[in-house]
Amino acid sequence: MPTLVFVHGSGCTGEVFAAQSAAFPGSFAMTVAGHTTPGAPASISEMADDVVTQCEARGIRNAILVGNSMGGAIALELAIRRYEAVRAVVLIGSGAKLRVAPAIFEAIERDFPSAAHMLAGYCFSRSRKDLIEPAAAGILAVGAAQTARDFHACDAFDVTERLERIEVPLLVLTGENDVMTPPRLGAFVADRVPGASARIVSGAGHLAMVECPDDTNEALRAFVTTIVS
């Protein structure tokens, strides 16, 4: 049975997958190196190396990588490498190219607490203001330096010309109201990876797994069934 391995996005930790960890016993919601200790991988490729290290340390050799935003970039990188432990990939609010607005870097440098609340606001649909404060607290805990490194790694990421190398099953989930990685970016990936599919999570923003955990988990279960059947 494959192990679901959850990989978080910029300024986050594995805690954003709490609802999925509870729903899928035996899964692994990792936190990429640097988010809990000083020093960090500076690129998506280096972060992917860390994911490999953590999976091998846990003896995970049959993984379904589920990545949100930056985590999706990491998952795509490993699928393109054809890392042998990757059985399938799920992207949540991610894409093949993750350009970051210069205003985000400026905001992080100028006033990080305000930037954290701004970024948290971008993560959810307008109806879920209750989720902003907890998300902002998580970003603040990660810190300005690491959050900036994450976004710089995303800004440099572009695998639009390498997607055809992916040979594993791939599902793209995008929140209907995602303003950071809108549905067209997910559709772009699905259209260029043979056999891939895209699905919209109704009413969700960028962190669909937090805002709409039941719908996200249902989509994951259905996808896992296709892998193991």
Region 164-180: what's the mean pLDDT?
A: 97
Q: How many C-beta atoms surround the C-beta of residue 143 within 10 A?
A: 16
Q: How many residues does the structure list for the chain? A: 229
Distance CA 1, CA 142 (A): 33
| pLDDT value of position 37 | 66
DSSP 16: G
List, in order, residues 6 or more apart from 50 with CB less than 8 Å away: 32, 33, 41
Please write the tens of the pLDDT for every residue from 87-97: 999 999 999 99
| pLDDT value of position 41 | 75
Kindly tell me if the per-residue pLDDT of 224 is higher than 80.
yes
Closest CA to 176 of 110, 93, 87, 84: 93
% of the chain at pLDDT higher than 90: 93
Region 127-134: what's the mean pLDDT?
A: 92
| pLDDT value of position 36 | 67
Region 140-156: what's the mean pLDDT?
A: 95
Region 201-216: what's the mean pLDDT?
A: 97
Residue carrying structure tokens 């949100």: 68
Q: How far is CA 42 from CA 72, 157, 190, in A?
A: 16, 11, 27
| pLDDT value of position 126 | 84
Q: What 3-state class would DSSP assign to 33?
A: coil
Region 63-75: what's the mean pLDDT?
A: 98
Q: What 3-state class would DSSP assign to 43?
A: coil
Closest CA to 89 of 220, 228, 213: 220
Beta bridge partners of 68: 92
Distance CA 24, CA 6 (A): 11
8 A C-beta contact, residue 163 and residue 190: no
Kindly tell me if the per-residue pLDDT of 192 is higher than 90.
yes
β pairing state of 86-92 and 63-68: parallel
Closest CA to 68 of 90, 46, 51: 90
Phi then psi dihedrals of residue 97, to 5 deg: -145, 125
Paired tokens of 91: 């992207």
Region 48-75: what's the mean pLDDT?
A: 97
DSSP 2: P
Q: Which of 38-47, 99-108, 204-213 has the lowest mean pLDDT?
A: 38-47
| pLDDT value of position 61 | 95
Kindly tell me if the per-residue pLDDT of 100 is higher than 80.
yes
| pLDDT value of position 38 | 64
| pLDDT value of position 1 | 86
Q: Where are the beta strands (DSSP E) in 17-148?
A: 28-30, 63-68, 86-92
Where residue 39 falls among pLDDT bands split at 50, 70, 90?
low
Region 143-172: what's the mean pLDDT?
A: 96
Please write the tens of the pLDDT for every residue from 106-115: 999 999 999 9
Write b or e for each residue in 153-163: b if 16 or more Cβ atoms lie within 10 A of its Cβ, otherwise e: bbbbbebeeeb
